[in-house]
Chain A
């Protein structure tokens, strides 16, 4: 009698959940459906994982294989389909596989492509660094802001996404143009002389402004989600041990936010390498970006095999940093496994 009263409320709740679970698991519809699926070697977990797998298969792997196949085609006909086949039956007996690496050799020989690659990497790197320099303080400020302000501030970061990307780039054309808002204001104030506008549009400057502006949220969001989780008592501990606040930031916050820095940098760097709209609209006519070369190759030169080879080469160049990032994340995951 006395002992029974010691069963706590928590234990009772757990008993209740156990009972509910047992009821569901033993109900006939559940047992029937899971039994049928198991006969095909499918369990609930497999099904859940299968959805993204099928998605990636249909919309990533299959198109990739098509592009890969086109990149091996010969360009002796026109650069558009039909292409020289990759596999061919000779006398209905032998399967002939023709790998034409000519397109890749062409890329390596023509300095246009290599220069475009290098300049794309440069533009992407510089943009990433600027995004980081602007995004880190913003993410830090949001993460340390009062809880009631945080969501509002985050919303402001995400807000530009509600407008079309193209519209926003066009808006920058309106701002940066010779008769644009910035020049008009500067002239009205008297900093610039009338009729001598500051040439900003169609320069590298405008291109960088456009890229940094467009990709900044992709830097801020992962940084914020990292910084927001930081245990602030770590900073107190550092200060308590005789470390001045800024040094505590450098030796505690910064290293602990490295995974956020890398995630944000990847999210900016990778699309920025292939960026072609912003350089085209805001950048100078001489700006050479691999995305632009790719576009021209597909739609102006209509040389799909070479264009495909460019696409594959770009992919390979980008896969390397992604793999480095993955490895870094695995190490991080190991380090934070205790949480």
Chain B
């Protein structure tokens, strides 16, 4: 993981040429626009996550990269080659299917060898490459088994091995961890990143699971209704969402609607009826005065106190309505005097906290001026 971050980010390097270029691609099914004018540049060695809810067009985009769907408009370039008219069996791309799509009548070994056989490679080379690949995914002793004799996690690794053994330029992964249980997911996520780093293949991952996207991705493209809404590193997307949709889709967030009072280069002052007070945000926003904006504040960036905070802005009082004890932290739902319910998470640092907050207790919520993000749409 560390190695990945040390590397210079190619998307910040103006001279770097994108490895995969998606240019103004649209896909219509009858009247329905599945993918709407998407343009993306993905660089070599990236793990790029397409993140969005069901029906946002992420899978259609992936299938267009694989060649199963033809774009209605626009073009796709992989390593500089225009992919229009190139059938899926001739693309330098392999896909790991959500259902894994392992061939049930073939053994693990035969499944992995299938792609190499299509290339007409000599038998000995196929055997060594299959063996090497099975070693990478740690499935050597399962080579002779059929898919139905494997666990979910093992099947997932067979699917990965089968799609990687052809050494594709790009590996497309459709919900790669979707069928695994939670414990196995976490483990597999890191394994997937390890293998990707070792082989240096560019990954494009489609997922609806923001946690999966956050841990896997070098960059995330958030999709909504066929469009790319925001592209950025997981950190960018989480801390600096550019729209309400992104802020609400990634993680939990409290949104306060308000009107701009002051819009200076270094700060913004917002009057919010939902909060029942004023919001001070320590960064500038360029909008018309009196415009309606939303301030997004993450639950973990809020503070819960019994005494009113010193700062007059960014605070409100309310009553605790719900408490969920999660072990490492607790979630509090606080109903403000304005009627709005705010979600706050507080870490449980002390084991025997004597004066824990309880239900129906009157409290103050507040946050630092750097915690809020103003979004305009």
CA distance A338 to B162 in the complex (A): 21
Query: How extensive is the interface on chain A, given as a class?
Result: 20 to 34
A243 interface residue (CB < 8 Å to B): yes
A111 at the interface (CB under 8 A from B): no
Structural contact, B148 and A237, CB atoms closer than 8 A? no
Q: A236 to B101, alpha carbons, bound, how many Å?
A: 9
Contact partner of A1 (CB less than 8 A), chosen from B94, B95, B163, B359, is B359
Instruction: Classify the secondary structure of A's interface with B.
Output: helix
Contact partners of A243 in chain B: CB under 8 A: 89, 114-115, 118
Q: Knowing A2-B324, A336-B104, say if A238 contacts B114 (CB, 8 Å).
A: yes
Question: Are A242 and B105 in touch, CB under 8 angstroms?
Answer: no
CA distance A243 to B113 in the complex (A): 12
Whole-angstrom CA separation of A192 from B216 in the bound complex? 75
Q: How far apart are the CA atoms of A337 and B94 in the complex, in Å?
A: 29
Contact B97 A244 (CB under 8 A): no
Q: Please provide the chain B residues from 131 to 152 with a CB less than 8 Å away from any CB of chain A in the complex.
A: 146-148
A256 sits at the interface (CB 8 A): yes
Give the docked Cα–Cα distance between A266 and B103 (Å): 26
B146's partner among A245, A255, A335 (CB-CB below 8 A) is A335
Cβ of B228 under 8 Å from chain A: no
CB-contacts of A248-304 with B (<8 A): 251-252, 255-256
- Would you list which residues of chain B between 160 and 208 have a CB under 8 Å from chain A? 162-163, 166
Q: Quick check: B94 and A240 within 8 Å, CB to CB?
A: yes
Contacts of A255 in B (CB 8 A): 105
Q: How far is the CB of B269 from chain A (nearest CB, A)?
A: 36
Give the docked Cα–Cα distance between A255 and B118 (Å).
Answer: 17
A2 pairs with B323, CB closer than 8 A = yes
What 0/1 readout, one digit per residue, does chain A (229-249) give for beta carbons within 8 Å of chain B? 001011011111111110100
Within 8 A of A (CB), among B98-114: 99, 101-105, 114
Cα distance A245–B88 in the bound complex, in angstroms? 10
Decide if A239 touches B89 in the complex (CB within 8 Å).
yes
Please give, as numbers and ranges, the residues of chain B lying within 8 Å of A238 by CB-CB distance.
103, 114
Besides the known contacts A237-B101, A238-B103, A242-B89, 7 further A-B residue pairs in the complex with CB atoms under 8 A apart = A231-B99, A234-B101, A238-B114, A239-B88, A240-B88, A251-B114, A335-B146
Which A residues form the contact surface with B (CB < 8 A)?
1-2, 231, 233-234, 236-245, 247, 251-252, 255-256, 335-338
